[in-house]
Structure formats: structure tokens, C-alpha cells
Amino acid sequence: MNIKTKCKKPIIIAGPCAAESKAQIALSLREAKKRAIDFVRISLWKPRTKPGFEGLGFRGIDLLIEAARLGLSPATEVILPEQARAVMDAVLGEVPETRLMLWIGARNQNHYIQREIARVAASDKRVLLMVKNQPWSNEDHWEGIVGHVLSGGIDKARVILCHRGFIPNGVNPFGYKNVPDYEMAMRIKHTSGLPMIFDPSHTGGTVDKVLQIMDEAMKHEFDGIIVEVHPDPTHALTDAKQQLTWKEFDQLRV
């Protein structure tokens, strides 16, 4: 990964937009195992703009356990504190030596819930919490999210921020799905003292733009990436246009 970073090694999170089936995740785990991936993305709950596939939910937790048994560290978005607790209890109970990443997505802007998820995550040192920026461009709000999360009592050493761009507001010359503000991301990174990773999938919106936007991101001091990679993107149930194949993912690597 050719990202400028002060970290010893960039943080790499990769896997499908959503966990869809046992077979899909088995293929993803096989490919992830071949690569130096820190966390494999196995997202069980999917917020949707319109009704559609909302993820496997609680019945998919066994897929995270399977990843951990294979020596891979699983990562999943959680929307509610009870989801965070259920994932932690199941995965860490079955594979105590694993690391687990939970994340709070861009649409989860209820500060009570943000704080409670952080409080749950804070209870176990094996858990990292990643937090994405809100959909609209507002630096004060982004700083507020960080404050609410930290007020849940989680150690700053276990919190990672993620820039996934903002909803376009008239200025979008490259036609991105969400427009990055690299300067704001770097200000938030430095004022908070927290690592900042980049999400090329939700900023780019299509495979060609994901690859394009990575060239831009590499000019800034991001500490890693979270990228959507699917074994068969054309048949993905969510965000099919922006998910890379594993061969395309390899193009992001040095």
C-alpha cells in the first residue's frame, strides 16, 4: 500500500460490502488469507436508503467466528449497542485470541447510540472501534462524533476514524459517489490525535473511480483503507458497481 502514513504499516480492511451467504464469505476468507489483510470485512447489518437486502443480521455471526478460527480478524458494522454486545460475546467467546473490529457507519448519527456502542466496545481490550464521518460536510459535527464516542469511555488507542466522503453539494467534477475533503480529514486526524483511514469504495462509487480516487488519497497522510472486495461483484446484493474483485484489489497494493 503506497499511502503516506506515520504508522509502521497501513491498516488494511477488505471484504464484501455485505455478508450474503456462507459460500460467499468462504470464498472471501480464502482470498483474504492469501493477502496481508488486517481485518476482513464481514458486515452483517446494512442501513438502506430504500428497502432491500439488509444483511444477515444475528444469524450471520457464525461467519465472523469462522474468520477468527482461520486466524483472520473480522470486522463488521453495528447499528445498535445490542448488536455490538452479541458479536463480541459470540466471537471473543469462541476465539479468545482474536482481534475484532466494530464500526459505526455514516448514517448512525444518534449520539446516544454512538456513545453506547463505544461503551460496549470499551469493555474488552481486544476490540477496536472504527468511526465514519457523517454524510453531510460539517467539521463541527465530525468533531462532535469523535467527542461522543470518546465520552463512552473507550481508550483512544482503540479508536480509528474513517473518511468516506460527503454527499455531493453541487461541486463534483469527477462524478464521485461521495466527495472527499482531504484537508478536513487531515485536520480532524491531527486535532483528535487518532488514526484516519480512507474509504475509496463509498467515495468512488464505481470500480474505475475507486481506482482513480486511490491515486488522490495516496497524496495524503491516511493510515490505511477500508475497501469493498467481492468474489463475484456482478451478482452482489448491495453496491455491486463499487466492489472490486480480488485481482482489482491487488492493483491497490505495491
Listed by start position, the domains of the chain span 11-250
| DSSP string for 179-230 | B--HHHHHHHHHHHT--EEE-HHHHH-SHHHHHHHHHHHTTS---EEEEEB-
Reduce the DSSP state of residue 158 to 3 states and report it.
helix
Q: What burial class does residue 234 get, using C-beta atoms within 10 Å of its C-beta: 0-12 exposed, 13-18 middle, 19+ buried?
A: exposed
Closest-CA residue to 130 (of 164, 96, 97): 164
Residue 50 confidence class, pLDDT cut points 50, 70, 90: confident
**What CA–CA distance (Å, rounded) separates 64 from 53?**
19
Backbone angles phi, psi at 85, to 5 degrees: -65, -45
Residue 48: other Cβ atoms inside 10 A: 11
Q: Is the pLDDT of residue 13 over 50?
A: yes
Backbone angles phi, psi at 54, to 5 degrees: -105, 10
- CATH of the structural domain 11-250, one choice from 3.20.20.70, 2.60.40.420, 3.40.718.10, 3.40.50.620: 3.20.20.70
> Contact 228/15 with Cβ under 8 angstroms?
yes
Res 4 pLDDT > 60: no
- Residue 217 pLDDT exceeds 90: yes
CA angle 18, 126, 86 (to 5 degrees): 50
Cβ distance 134 to 109 under 8 Å?
Answer: yes
- DSSP-assigned letters across all residues of 228-248: EB-SSGGG-SS-GGGPBPHHH
Q: What is the pLDDT of residues 168-207, one digit of tens each?
A: 988 899 999 999 999 999 999 999 999 999 999 999 999 9
Q: Which three three-digit cell numbers place residue 22? A: 456462507
Q: Are 87 and 77 in contact (CB under 8 A)?
A: no
Q: Cell 469523535 appears where?
A: 146
| Per-residue pLDDT tens digits for 154-171 | 999 999 999 999 999 888
Q: Tell me if 91 sits within 8 A of 117, measured CB to CB.
A: no
